[in-house]
Amino acid sequence: MLSEEDVHSNSYADRTGAVIDRQTFFGDDCDEINLGNEDTPPSKLRLNTSTDTESTSPAVINSIEDHDQYHDNHNDHYAQISPEPVPIKFNIIIREFEKRGDGMNAYIVYKLETEVSGVVGYSKTHYETWRRFSDFLGLHGKIVEKYLSKGIVIPQPPEKSISALTKTKTNSDPAMSREVGIQRARHLERYVSRLVQHPRMRNDCDLRDFLTIDSDLPKAVQTAALSSFGVKKIFKNFQVVFSKMAFHMEEGDRWFEQVQSQIDELDEALRKLYTVTESLVASRREMATSGEQLGKALSMLAACEESTSLSRALSALTDVTESVSTAWGKQAEIDNAKFSEAIYEYIMLISALKDVFGERVRAWQQWQDAQQTLSRKRDQKTKIDLAAGGRNEKSDQLKAEIEETVLRMDQLEQHFGELSKAIREEVARFDTDRKVDMKKILIEYMESMIHTHTEVFR
């Protein structure tokens, strides 16, 4: 077992602090040093801020002309030092989809239109590609394999639904297939948009090929609804749960403890909100259907009414009922597309964020396993040296294994520190995006409600 001194020296909260803390690049000494002076020591070298253009600047600003001259001279100076970055534009829209094949071979393909500028690797500003759902799942598998172990939060694609698969392959009703296609197109558009928003994943070669190659991609494997990949994922989740129970991680970083608690609370609150929004959408759809039925009944009553004035009144009431029914039907679809689905997307993002925290726990467990292995090998070497009265072949072999284990433990410690640092950055980015997105979601919801009530009261 490790001594108290070893345990203290291997405390990841202390060791990762050296990785997480930023270095200070400039000291307190702000004296200007001329680079042309050969006597200046290297440690004191600083850029001389005086330029030829500044010599023409007025010493005292007494007029608008003096201010403009001073402003222009300094603008030129800073423009030469730090030019403005090229603005990045990356918009992805799924405008069309179509059903291809017949029977059990039927599938839906989606047309992705990409507008991009200012991103390395994209030679054109506009791309159009057709992709099927399995292509999205194949892309997700590649992205997870590359970036999850590095602490990057990867958005989750829509789940492969058995009911949607059945409607696509066995249902001959075009309206039913169109409903499935429209809903899935929105989910896929949100998923790809999340990928390109990330500064590291937007330059990924697999994502670039997915968006730019006009031809069909190689068929993705393990994307079936009940594939071996899905079964392995279930077993992996069970393995994570059992490992947490058997090898509990005592969180030594207060920041991570607070963040995980906040994320759990946010997840619970969003799930409750999502349940309410689903109920709201269902109620409005039911109200729209009931209003439509009421309008038909009033229309039949107006047709058989002998009193002309009463018939006209019933006809007017029929028109109002149908208009209100149509307005609430539109509002139900807007609530589903822009409110309920947006909330569900953030629930999936929180799930992806929890996956990153789980990756950190696994990295910590691997580090602790390496420490225990090192302690065990040292004990074995000590026993062998005492029993043999000196070094022998077995002792030399254990010495080499100990050196290898120490190297591996240092690598795992460094990986854990880098992973913790990356997760901090991802959490900060998630929190910033969440505030902007939630504001946008609520504003769009309120604007749609105002528009609907305006139509109802007309």
- Do residues 247 and 365 lie in contact, with contact meaning Cβ atoms separated by under 8 Å? yes
Residue 86: the pLDDT is 64
Q: Mind giving me the DSSP string for 199-232?
A: TTTTT-HHHHHHHH--SPPPPPSS-STT-HHHHH
Residue 102: the pLDDT is 78
Domain at 87-220: CATH code? 3.30.1520.10
Cα–chain-centroid distance for residue 68?
A: 46
Hey, where are the domains in the chain?
Answer: 32-84, 87-220, 263-458
Residue 407: the pLDDT is 95
Cα–chain-centroid distance for residue 210?
A: 18
Dist. CA 328–CA 324, nearest whole Å = 6
Residue 78: the pLDDT is 41
Residue 393: the pLDDT is 80
Residue 48: the pLDDT is 42
Which residues have CB under 8 Å from 94's CB, separation 6+?
Answer: 110, 111, 112, 113, 185, 186, 188, 189
| pLDDT (tens place) for every residue of the chain, 458 residues total | 444 444 444 444 454 444 444 444 344 444 444 444 444 444 444 434 444 444 454 444 444 444 455 445 544 444 444 455 667 889 999 989 988 887 777 888 999 999 999 888 899 999 999 999 999 999 999 999 999 999 999 999 988 776 666 666 666 566 667 888 888 999 999 999 999 999 999 999 999 999 999 888 877 655 554 444 455 555 555 555 555 555 667 777 889 999 999 999 999 999 999 999 999 999 999 999 999 999 999 999 999 988 999 999 999 999 999 999 999 999 999 999 999 999 999 999 999 999 999 999 999 999 999 999 999 999 988 888 887 766 678 888 888 999 999 999 999 999 999 999 999 999 999 999 999 999 999 999 999 999 999 988 87
Residue 107: the pLDDT is 84
Helix (H) or strand (E) holding 409: helix 393-457
Q: What is the CATH superfamily name and number for domain 263-458?
A: Arfaptin homology (AH) domain/BAR domain (1.20.1270.60)
